[in-house]
Chains A and B, each alone.
Chain A
Amino acid sequence: MASRLLSASSRAASFLRISVAHRGFASVVNGLKYAESHEWVKIEDNHATVGITDHAQDHLGDVVYVELPEVGAAFKQGDSFGAVESVKATSDIYSPVSGEVIEVNEELNNSPGLVNSSPYEKGWIMKVIMKDPGELASLKDAGAYSKFCDEEDAKH
C-alpha cells in the first residue's frame, strides 16, 4: 500500500512540478492548501482546483461514486459541494474556499477510482473562481496538514 501511494504521489509531484513530503502512509503535496475536513485546493491566479487528500482517499477506501456539483453553482467556504461514496461510507465534501464552479471533473462519472489512484492530479473534483483569496489564510499548508493528520490518527 505504501509503495502504491508513493508512486501515485510522485506522479502528482512531477505533474505539479512541486516537491512531495512523505509522512506515514499518506502523502501531502507542498504548494497546496488543505482544509481540516480533508480537501485540498490548488491556486492558479484566482482559479482554485479542489479535490480530496491522499489521507482522505486512503481512509475511505475504494471510491465508487462522486457526486459532482453543477457548473455555475456558488458555494461559501465550508459548504458541502458534493459527496464521495466508497464501498462502505458516504462522505460529504466541503468547499475549502468561497466561489463559483466553472468546471467539474466529468471523468469521475466513469472512473470514480481516480480519486484513489490520483487524488492530487486526475482525481480533482471541481474548479472554482475564488471570491475571497483572503480565505486561504485559514487553510493549512502541507506541513501543518500532515501534522494534523498524524495527530488525528494518533488519537485512535
Chain B
Amino acid sequence: MRGGLWQLGQSITRRLSQADKKAVARRYFASEADLKKTVLYDFHVANGGKMVPFAGWSMPIQYKDSIMDSTVNCRENGSLFDVAHMCGLSLKGKDAVPFLEKLVIADVAGLAPGTGSLTVFTNEKGGAIDDSVITKVQDDHIYLVVNAGCRDKDLAHIEEHMKAFKAKGGDVSWHIHDERSLLALQGPLAAPVLQHLTKEDLSKIYFGEFRIIDINGSSCFLTRTGYTGEDGFEISVPSENAVDLAKAILEKSEGKVRLTGLGARDSLRLEAGLCLYGNDMEQHTTPVEAGLTWAIGKRRRAEGGFLGAEVILKQLAEGPKVRRVGFFSSGPPARSHSEIQDDKGTNIGEITSGGFSPCLKKNIAMGYVKSGLHKAGTQVKILVRGKPYDGVVTKMPFVPTKYYKPS
C-alpha cells in the first residue's frame, strides 16, 4: 500500500502518455533509494503513514485518516506534522541583520528580538527565490526556515552573497540546523496540549513570536506560527528527542491531535490562502503580484536595498500587471495550470493551486489574473479538461484564520 497514491497517479493520471509514464517510473525507481528520511520515518510507517517522494524526501502524504477527515480535525482539534524536511538555518554575527536585508523584503532591523515575519527572498528581477519565516532571536542572531525543495538553491544563493559580504569586512556566518528536526503542532488544541510539556507560559507568546525554551525535557526553538491558518507552533527539537516529543504531544492530547500528512497540509494552507512556493509563487513572481505587499517593510519601501528593489518599488507605485486572487468554482475542482477566461472566452490568467475544500465542502482555488479583473465578485470561467465552468473571484483566506494575537 505504500506509495500507492503516487502509483495510482501514475497508472490513471491524465497528463502523461504511456511513454512518459515509463520514463517517470524509471526516474522514480532510480531515485527511490536516494530519498532522504527524517528521524520520524519509522514512526510514520508504524502509524500507518503512506510514504511518498516529496522534494527528495520520503514523507507521509496521509496516515489512516482520510485527507478530508485530517483537514477537518486540524481545525476542530489539532494536527501534528513532521516538517523536518524543511531547512532551519541560523545567521549569526553583528552584521547578520544588514546582510539578510540585502536578500529579503522584510524590515529585519525593525523586528523586536524574539519576533519574526513571513518574508520573501528575491532575485535581481524582483522575482521570488523562496518564501521563508524569519525570526530575530537577537540583534546578532536570525533564525529562518526555508522550503525543502528550495534548500540547495537557497543555500547556494545565501552563501554566494555571504562570501561577497564577508570579503568587504561584514561579520556574518551561518549554521544549518541539521542536528534539529522541525515539528508543526496546529489547531485549537495546540496550545493547551503543548502547555502540558513546558513550564513556560504559552499564553504570553503571541503569533509570530519566538522563544528558546525547554519542552518535554529538551531545549527547543519555539515559533508561534504555521501553515494552516490555525493557532499553533513550529517546534525545532534536537533530532534525538523528536520521536519522544511527537509521542508526548499525541499522548497529552488523548488522541485528539492526529498525525497529519502532506495531503491535508496542502488543503489547510489552501483554505488559509497561503502560497505554496513552486505553485503559487515562482522565480518570475514578485511579492507584489503574489499579494505579499504587506510583508515589505515600510522602511524597505522607502529605502529599497534588497535584490530587485527597483522592479518591486516600481510595481508598488504603478500597480502590478497580474495579481494573485482566490476563486470559488462549480464543477470539478480547478487544478494548477487550469486556464482562466472572461465571459467572452479570452484568456485572463491561470490557476496555480486548487482543490476541494474539506472544511467548506466546495471547490476553492488560487491563481493569477490581469489587474482590473482581480476584484472580489468578478465572474470568470475556469477551464477543466477543455470545458468552461463558472468561477468567481473571492477574498482569501477562504477559511478565517485564528492566529493568537494580543486582544
Contacts and interface: CB of A to CB of B under 8 A. Distances in A.
Nearest to A85: B332
A134 B266 CA distance: 45
B267 A156 contact: no
Interface stretch (B62-70, B177-185, B218-226): B62-70
B64 A61 contact: no
Given A36-B11, A61-B62, A91-B14, 17 more contacts: A37-B11, A38-B11, A60-B5, A61-B68, A61-B263, A62-B68, A65-B331, A87-B66, A87-B67, A88-B5, A88-B267, A90-B14, A94-B12, A153-B2, A153-B3, A155-B7, A156-B4
B9 to A, nearest CB: 6
Given A62-B68, A65-B332, A156-B7, A83 B355 contact: no
Interface string B325-337: 0000001110100
B6 interface: yes
12 contacts: A38-B8, A38-B11, A56-B12, A62-B66, A87-B358, A88-B266, A89-B9, A91-B8, A91-B9, A92-B14, A153-B1, A155-B3
A85 B385 contact: no
Interface string B15-36: 0000000000000010010000
Interface in A9-57: 24-25, 36-38, 56
A58 B332 CA distance: 20
The 4 closest A-B pairs by CB, nearest first: A156-B3, A59-B8, A64-B356, A62-B68
A67 B67 CA distance: 21
Contacts of A80: 14
Given A59-B4, A62-B67, A87 B12 contact: no
A91 B62 contact: no
Given A65-B333, A153-B2, A156-B7, A91 B385 contact: no
B13 interface: yes
Nearest to B5: A59
Contacts of B67: 61-62, 86-88
A3 to B, nearest CB: 12
A106 B315 CA distance: 49
Given A56-B12, A59-B8, A1 B2 contact: no
A93 interface: yes
Interface in A73-89: 80, 83, 85-89
B64 A89 contact: no
Contacts of A60: 5, 8
Q: Most chain-B Cβ atoms within 10 A of its Cβ — which of A80, A85, A94? A: A85
Given A38-B11, A62-B68, A85-B333, A24 B385 contact: no
Contact of A24 (B1, B66, B358): B1
A156 B331 CA distance: 33
Contacts of B1: 24-25, 153
A83 B15 CA distance: 12
Contacts of A85: 332-333, 356
Interface in B34-61: 61
Contacts of A61: 5, 62, 66-68, 263
Contact of A67 (B61, B267, B332): B332
Contacts of A92: 12-14
Contacts of B8: 38, 56, 59-60, 89, 91
B193 to A, nearest CB: 26
A27 to B, nearest CB: 14
A56 B12 CA distance: 9
A72 to B, nearest CB: 17
Interface in B373-390: 385
Nearest to A1: B64
B21 to A, nearest CB: 11
Nearest to B9: A89
A104 B354 CA distance: 27
A110 B8 CA distance: 25
Nearest to B16: A92
A9 to B, nearest CB: 17
Given A64-B356, A156-B7, A87 B14 contact: no
Contacts of A56: 8, 12
Given A60-B8, A65-B356, A94-B12, A88 B385 contact: no
Contacts of B29: 155
Contacts of B6: 156
Contact of A37 (B5, B12, B32, B267): B12
A83 B335 CA distance: 13
Contacts of B333: 64-65, 85, 90
Q: Most chain-B Cβ atoms within 10 A of its Cβ — which of A36, A85, A156? A: A156
Nearest to A89: B9
Interface in B63-91: 64, 66-68, 71
